[in-house]
Amino acid sequence: MVYASYTILVHLCERNGEISFSSSAMVFVTEVMKLLISLSLLLKESTSTVLSLPSFKEVLPFSIPAVLYTFNNNLAVHMQLQMDPATYQVLSNLKILTTAALYRMIIKRPISVLQWIALGMLTLAGAFNSYGGLQSSTESMSAGVIHLTLQGLLMISLYALVSGLAGVYMEFILKRRYEAEFNQILILFFCTIFTVEDGNLFNGFNIFTWILICSQAVCGLIMSAVMKHGNNITRLFLISCAMLVTTLLSIAIFYLKLNVYFCISFLLVIGALILYHKT
């Protein structure tokens, strides 16, 4: 539910077809909140020991995924104007394919034949949804209609590639670091601080923006824990389940009208989830 509400909340923040706040400011405040939560948890678990900051050498590897995540977090906000919430949720599954390839290259663990078939089904689902969205984008740009612009397709493709690279590299680090959640949030915080624009930090913020920030702070920490104790592809398939929640919320809030391409994509994703977990 937390992950699924992201695109819904961004669309609720729109004013006259534009994002009402600075994406850099939103990402910055979110990372500050993650840092505060992480520090409070660390202090609670380390009351009997002396706390010390990690060395520069220990945290340096986290700067790479930090920059990638910062870029993607900003990109994710702006691409909402190029597609409806349900389409965003479906097409975000494209990062599973890029993650799988990078997972094999970096983590060096095999992926079963059934898992590759499931990944192929997800890619096909993305193709169906993209075609249907591009066909509808000439008619309406409303959140209540399935639509996708060419710019949006390019943005989501870049997002999938960067997300896959950042996620796999982060898992590679987390599997080899202790207290990784704290290190991750600390470095993400310092990398994000340089992206904030001059002016009023909270300009354009409203109630939906603050709900968005709180939900993303919690979601980020949950995903970090999942990557620590599971694996990145499992995390992405769990995220894929949010597609159903996003679609239902879009129908309830924006009166979203589905098309046949989206329905086919939806069924393909469900089939891929079942097939993947059979392995």
Residue 199: inside a domain: no
Which residues lie closer than 8 Å to 181 by C-beta, 6 or more apart? 38, 41, 221, 224, 225, 228
- The total number of structural domains in the chain stands at 1
Residue 52: inside a domain: no
pLDDT at 236: 61
Provide the residue type at 79 as one letter.
M
Residue 269: inside a domain: yes
Low-confidence residues in the chain, pLDDT < 50: 178-180
Domain with 154, as residue range(s), is 5-15+22-41+57-194+205-277
Q: Which tokens go with 236?
A: 């992405």
Residue 200: inside a domain: no
Closest alpha carbon to 147 in 245, 253, 256:
256
Residue 49: inside a domain: no
Which residues lie closer than 8 Å to 81 by C-beta, 6 or more apart? 14, 17, 18, 19
Q: Please name the residue that has the structure tokens 């904030």.
A: 196
Residue 270: inside a domain: yes
> Looking at residue 193, what DSSP letter applies?
G
Q: Which tokens go with 38?
A: 């992480």
Residue 183: inside a domain: yes
Contact 129, 262 (CB under 8 A): yes
Residue 46: inside a domain: no
CA distances in angstroms from 15 to 32, 57, 81, 140, listed in the order given: 26, 44, 11, 17
Q: Tell me: the pLDDT tens digits for 127-138?
A: 888 888 876 655
